[in-house]
Each structure stands twice: as C-alpha cells, then as structure tokens.
Amino acid sequence: MKTEPSRTAAKAARSGSEEGSAPALDFDMDHAVPALVARAGMRMGQAFSKQLKAFDLNLTEWRVCASLHHRPHQRLSDLAQNTAAEPSTLSRTVDSLMQRKVLVRDRSGADARALALSLTPEGVALTERIIPLAHLYERVAVAGIPKQHVALLKDMLHRLYENMAMLDGDN
C-alpha cells in the first residue's frame, strides 16, 4: 500500500524536528534547503549557459553530451535520470543533437534489441572542447571550500536526491 505523500512528508518532517517542538509555520527561503540548492544551481547554470552559446549548445544539450561522454550507450530513460531533464524536453534535445550529427542511436551492448544513444566522433570532439570550461566553472563555484567539504557536499547532494524518492509514491 502506498503512503500518501502528505502523510509521508509529515512523518519525515516530524522525524527531523526536535522532540516535543511544534513544526515551524514559517518557511524562510534564505535558509530552506530546496531553495538554496535551486538558487545555487540556477546561478551556476545561467553563468555556464552564456559560455555554451559559443558552442551552439544550451545547458540541457551540454548535460546530454557530458553524460554520454562519461557513460556512452545510454537509453533515453537513463539519460533522463542522469541529466535531470523532463522527458519531453529530453526527446526534443536528443532529436536536435541527432540532426546536428552530435548524437547517434545505436544498439545497447546489454540488450541488442534496445536502442541507446552515443556521441558521434564530432560530438566527442565538441564535448572534449567544453570539458575544460566545465571544470573551470566548477572550480570557481567551489573556490574557498576545502576539498573534503566539496566531497561531503557532493555526497550530501546525492543523499538529498535519494531521500526525495520517499515522496515519489514509488515505495
């Protein structure tokens, strides 16, 4: 039996609060984790998007290329999870990148019946021209933060993502 998201969320909120304290009725966006994560991500994405224009890519297209460079032969469903793109947006993005000869559909290694996506040689070359810029933007974003804290931040962001499955209604 699925738990209603509102009950699950209420239970999660209670378990995270101090025992005996009433839930806060204020929601300070300056200190709310979802707002802080979104705000930081938006700022980084907007800044990097300006640089991507020189390569005739938008941020979603870059994420697709980077994901396929790191892990070739992905199915569309895997790519959607790895890029956090909405399925309809991802489908249009993939079509556009295929028309521009950046991506190609091929047979999955694990299942010859399944279609997967990979970068073309041109797509690999394009992605490899952008990777140093992506590394620069990440270095700027984490400047002044000790390496062990950056590693901890990455672990915590993965955990935040995994924790949200509780509210997806799939459990």
pLDDT, tens only, 85-112: 998 999 999 999 999 999 999 876 666 6
**Residue 100 domain flag:** yes
Give this prediction's pTM.
0.79
Domain that holds residue 154: 35-163
- What CATH number did the domain enclosing 106 receive? 1.10.10.10
Instruction: Dig out the tokens for 39 from the structure.
Output: 């705000």
Give the per-residue pLDDT at 2. Answer: 47
pLDDT-derived band at 114 (thresholds 50, 70, 90) equals confident
Q: What is the mean pLDDT of residues 152-158?
A: 96
Give the per-residue pLDDT at 115. Answer: 85
Q: Are strands 103-107 and 115-119 parallel, antiparallel or unpaired?
A: antiparallel
Query: In this model, does residue 65 exceed pLDDT 60?
Result: yes
**Residue 17 domain flag:** no
**Residue 66 domain flag:** yes
**Residue 10 domain flag:** no
**Residue 121 domain flag:** yes
Give the integer Cα–Cα distance in Å for 144 and 130.
24
Query: In this model, does residue 7 exceed pLDDT 70?
Result: no
Regarding predicted confidence, which is higher, 48 or 114? Answer: 48
Give the per-residue pLDDT at 3. Answer: 47
Instruction: Count structural domains, the chain.
Output: 1
C-beta atoms surrounding 73 within 10 Å: 16
Q: Three-state SS for 74? A: strand
**Residue 20 domain flag:** no
Give the per-residue pLDDT at 11. Answer: 55
Cβ contact 118:53 at 8 Å: no
Query: In this model, does residue 9 exceed pLDDT 80?
Result: no
Q: Which of 26, 119, 111, 29 is nearest to 72 (CA)?
A: 119
**Residue 4 domain flag:** no
**Structure confidence by residue, pLDDT tens digits, 23-57:** 668 889 999 999 999 999 999 999 999 999 999 99
Cβ contact 134:99 at 8 Å: no
Give the per-residue pLDDT at 38. Answer: 93
